[in-house]
Amino acid sequence: MSLHIGDIAPDFTVDTQVGKISLHDWAGDSWVFFFSHPADFTPVCTTEMGRTAQLADEFAKRNVKPLGLSTDSVEEHHEWIADVNDTQHTNLTFPIVADTDLAIAKTYEMIHPDQSETAAVRSVFIIDPKKKIRLTMTYPMSVGRNFDEILRVIDALQLSDAKRIATPADWTPGKDVIIPPSIANEEAATLFPQGWVEHRPYLRTVNVK
């Protein structure tokens, strides 16, 4: 079964290096950045786990909980985290799923046979507080993720929810956004009293805080 944007993220209960968690209960009222890795003690994964830990304050201020996944064991996670902390100069505290039987990786379609039959590719799922999948990204094993982009799309999703807007290409916080065509000018005047620029009837841009 394919997972699509808007689907409820499948729940699971699993061991991590910080204890057993159930996804939906653990997430609570937070967003979740759920991301998979091919294996512990691998170079690209080490830098990504370290970067996630370094960005702990950035995720926290967005009400986002990181959750990693590897198909290795809790014991291996503990040993690997020591390497991550040492080489990436950080303190990793977020949970890493121990998916040794590949059950979660298969449910979330993280196993791509052309890459590996037993190791997960670099999948990203952004899950909102209603437990809906809001964004997916998949990278090959050889390419590390861009964490600026991960934070950017979280910002875009959260602003879209809060202000009923869409974001244009290459948007970053502070730049103008788009008023969706589904919002007529009469309603837009109430939602955006600061006014907007109409480039075309279907393309209106506005700055929101």
pLDDT-derived band at 1 (thresholds 50, 70, 90) equals low
Using the predicted structure, report yes or no on whether residue 209 has a pLDDT greater than 60.
yes
| pLDDT tens per residue, range 69-81 | 998 999 999 999 9
| Residue 201 φ/ψ region, left for φ over 0, alpha for ψ in the -120 to 50 degree band, beta for the rest | alpha
Neighbour-count burial for 61-74, b at 16+ CB within 10 Å, e otherwise: ebebbbbbbbbbeb
pLDDT digits (tens, 9 = 90+) for 44-64: 999 999 999 999 999 999 999
When pLDDT is averaged across residues 136-151 and rounded to a whole number, the result is: 92
For the chain, the maximum distance between any two Cα atoms, rounded to a whole number of angstroms, is 60
Q: To which H or E segment does residue 190 belong? A: helix 185-191
pLDDT in tens, 98-138: 999 999 999 998 887 777 665 677 899 999 999 999 999 98
Active site residues: 45
Tens of pLDDT, residue by residue over 152-190, are: 999 999 999 999 999 999 999 999 999 999 999 999 999
What local confidence, expressed as pLDDT, does residue 118 receive? 56
One-character DSSP codes across 86-153: HHHTS---S-EEE-TT-HHHHHTT---TTT-SSS--EEEEEE-TTSBEEEEEEE-TTS---HHHHHHH
Identify any residues that bridge with 178 across adjacent strands, giving them in sequence order: 166, 205
State the pLDDT at residue 79: 97
Q: Is residue 18 within 8 Å of 93, Cβ to Cβ?
A: yes
Instruction: State residue 140's pLDDT score.
Output: 85
pLDDT confidence of residue 117:
61
Say yes or no to pLDDT of 193 above 90: yes
